[in-house]
Amino acid sequence: MQNIVLFGPPGAGKGTQAENIIKKYQLVHLSTGDMLRNEMKNQTELGLKAKTLIDQGLLVPDEVVIGMIKNQINQNLQAKGFIFDGFPRTVAQAEALDKMLAELNLSIHSMVALEVPFNTLKQRLLQRAKELNRTDDTEEIIEKRIQEYNSKTLPVADHYKKQNKFYSIDGVGTVQEVFERIERVLQA
């Protein structure tokens, strides 16, 4: 089983590249952002609570996303592997993930980090705002999301660096160019 964490700031291309990776390697895509947006769409209690945080660009509580990931892993134990997108986003989430995988005799194979400069992230997300209907793709909330990333999520990279599982990738270029860089890491 090959379990990959796709890492990077908002707009880095995690969702875009996850689609390419699952097609080629038949992994199960686990995006906590997509799961939360689905709860919001269905107006569940969890979705309504999450919406107030997401619309401020703030992270939702660790226990909420850890619970959702645990459920999805348990429902897909026959999978060839998982691609984690937007999770783990805090060191506590990373520790919980390592623990739940270890209990199943599994582990993270690698963290692939997409590096993209701030101005490009902002341009991509403002462009996406015109195409999709994500309520958090406004200039003000994008900046807040990037602040949350810098303060709470960047330390997750160190967590996997200590385990020698961290691979940095240049996330600027065409979608295909970036995918080829990721493939080189996954095939190594």
Let me know if 181 is a catalytic residue.
no
Examine residue 145 and tell whether it contacts ligand AP5 (CB under 6 A).
yes
In whole angstroms, give the CA distance from residue 96 to residue 100. Answer: 6
The nearest distance, CB 35 to ligand AP5, in angstroms, is 8
DSSP 52-120: HHHTTTPPPPHHHHHHHHHHHHHHTTTSS-EEEES---SHHHHHHHHHHHHHTT----EEEEEE--HHH
Using DSSP's 3-state secondary structure scheme, residue 173 falls into coil
Of 16 and 76, CB closest to ligand AP5: 16
Let me know if 14 is a catalytic residue.
yes
In whole angstroms, give the CA distance from residue 94 to residue 32. Answer: 13
Q: Which residues bind Mg ion (CB under 5 A)?
A: 14-15
In the list ligand AP5, Mg ion, none, the entry touching 51 (Cβ below 5 to 8 angstroms by class) is none
Query: Which stretch of DSSP H or E encloses residue 166?
Result: strand 166-170
Which token pair is 109?
Answer: 């194979």
Say which amino acid occupies 104. L
- Which region, judged by CB under 6 A, interacts with ligand AP5, from 40-48, 98-106, 157-165, 170-178? 170-178
Of 36 and 182, CB closest to ligand AP5: 36
Q: Compose the 5-44 pattern: x for residues touching ligand AP5 by CB under 6 A, - for all others.
A: ---x-xxxxxxx---------------xx--x--------
Of 8 and 166, CB closest to ligand AP5: 8
Cis peptide bond prior to 88, omega within 30° of 0: yes
Positions annotated as catalytic residues are: 14, 89, 128, 134, 145
Binding site for ligand AP5 (CB under 6 A): 8, 10-16, 32-33, 36, 53-54, 57-60, 65, 86-87, 89, 93, 124, 128, 136, 145, 173-175, 178
